[in-house]
Amino acid sequence: MRYFLENEELKCEFDLHGAELKSVLNKENYREYMWYGNGKYWGRTAPVLFPFVGMLKDKVFSWKGQSYPMGQHGFARDTDFELVSQEGNEIRFVMRSNEETRKKYPFDFTFEIVYTLTGKSLNVRWIVQNTGSEEMHFSIGAHPAFLCPVHGEKNKAGYRLTFKGASEIHHHGNALDTGLSMKEDIVLPLENETAVITEEFFDRTTYMVEGGQTQDVVLSDPEGKPIVEVVFDAPLFGVWSPEKKNAPFVCIEPWYGRCDAEDFDGDLSEREYSNKLLPGETFDKNYTITYYTL
């Protein structure tokens, strides 16, 4: 089932399945900002990553001596949420742990996603509460895909990514065969905080950026006119487009967590960037996407 938030600037569409943002239309000219999920490249638009971000080593995690198989990015993106409320410029969805989730992930929780539309900006808020009786560990992340190119070019070469406040970007890519984080420190040089996308820009790996190097990323056209800006306080983020496909979109992804490292050999509590909640505690974070006139 689909739901909508709308104002004079934008019309946003959400799917109850995964509580996923599916469309953002510029109402001035009815041009679309979001990737439309063509399986030729990637069949999703803006899935929410929970309770894991990225791939687990051997596709399994350990907790209290028991092993649990888990696919990439967890299960929230493939779960039907419930609509909690829709009022004014805000819509709220929730997913609750149940017998089926506990077979895959042995914790009790509620996970709310709140979307708030203000002018040309969409704020995305995540509220995770530990409703169980033991300590809970999880990761959470965003994966919005923005159409690129937007002016009818044959590909996105010449488009730009600006990492505000950064002189260069250090990142650890993920290995294409395993999806796990590599140790190699890869440097993306910038000019005036900006990298120009080439046809080969995304061929090697995902750009996984740690250490708070920037918390403001802008995707612009070849003339430098901004298309979207993603602002966040997450400790790391990803920039991705399908490797070696020259796909017509770019993802800018705030993360609280990431895939396992290639040499990781621990249990759930030892994963890097994992978030911890004691019984009754709440995790409450948000990020904002601003959509500029196309």
DSSP string, 53-84: -SPPGGGEEEETTEEEE--TTBSGGGSB-EEE
The mean pLDDT value of the chain amounts to 96
Residue 264: other Cβ atoms inside 10 A: 15
User: How much of the chain exceeds pLDDT 90, in percent?
Assistant: 92
Biggest alpha carbon–alpha carbon distance for the chain? 56
Q: Give me the CATH number covering residue 225.
A: 2.70.98.10
- Host domain of residue 266: 2-291
- 15 vs 205: which has the higher pLDDT: 15
Predicted confidence at residue 182, as pLDDT, reads 81
Nearest to 181 by CA among 252, 244, 264, 239: 264
Predicted confidence at residue 184, as pLDDT, reads 84
Nearest to 144 by CA among 259, 293, 288, 294: 288
Predicted confidence at residue 59, as pLDDT, reads 94
**Segment 86-120, tens digit of pLDDT:** 999 999 999 999 999 999 999 999 999 999 999 99
Q: At 176, is the pLDDT very low, low, confident or very high (cuts 50, 70, 90)?
A: confident
Q: Read off the pLDDT of each residue in 242-267 and give the average, rounded to a whole number.
A: 94
Task: Give the type of residue at 50.
Answer: F
- Phi then psi for 104, rounded to 5 degrees? -100, -25
Judged by phi (left if over 0) then psi (alpha if -120 to 50, else beta), residue 64 lies in left
What CA–CA distance (Å, rounded) separates 166 from 209?
A: 12
Predicted confidence at residue 141, as pLDDT, reads 98
Judged by phi (left if over 0) then psi (alpha if -120 to 50, else beta), residue 74 lies in left
What CA–CA distance (Å, rounded) separates 158 from 223?
A: 9
- Phi then psi for 101, rounded to 5 degrees? -65, -35
How many domains does the chain fold into? 1
How many helices (DSSP H) and strands (DSSP E) are in the chain? 1, 25
Poorest-pLDDT segment among 36-40, 170-174, 189-193, 239-243:
170-174
> Is residue 294's pLDDT more than 90?
no
**Secondary structure (DSSP) of 132-176:** SSS-EEE-EEE--EEE---SS-SS-TT-EEEETT-SEEEE--B-T
Taken in order 163, 165, 167, 173, the sign of the CA dihedral is negative
The three-state secondary structure class of 128 is strand
Nearest to 123 by CA among 136, 111, 133, 113: 113
What CA–CA distance (Å, rounded) separates 158 from 36?
A: 22
- For 100, 195, 235, the CA distances from 211, given in Å and listed in that order, are 35, 19, 6
Please name the helix (run of DSSP H) or strand (run of DSSP E) that holds residue 251, with its range, or none.
strand 249-256
What CA–CA distance (Å, rounded) separates 226 from 218?
A: 7
Nearest to 88 by CA among 117, 123, 113: 117
Predicted confidence at residue 78, as pLDDT, reads 97
What CA–CA distance (Å, rounded) separates 85 from 66?
A: 38
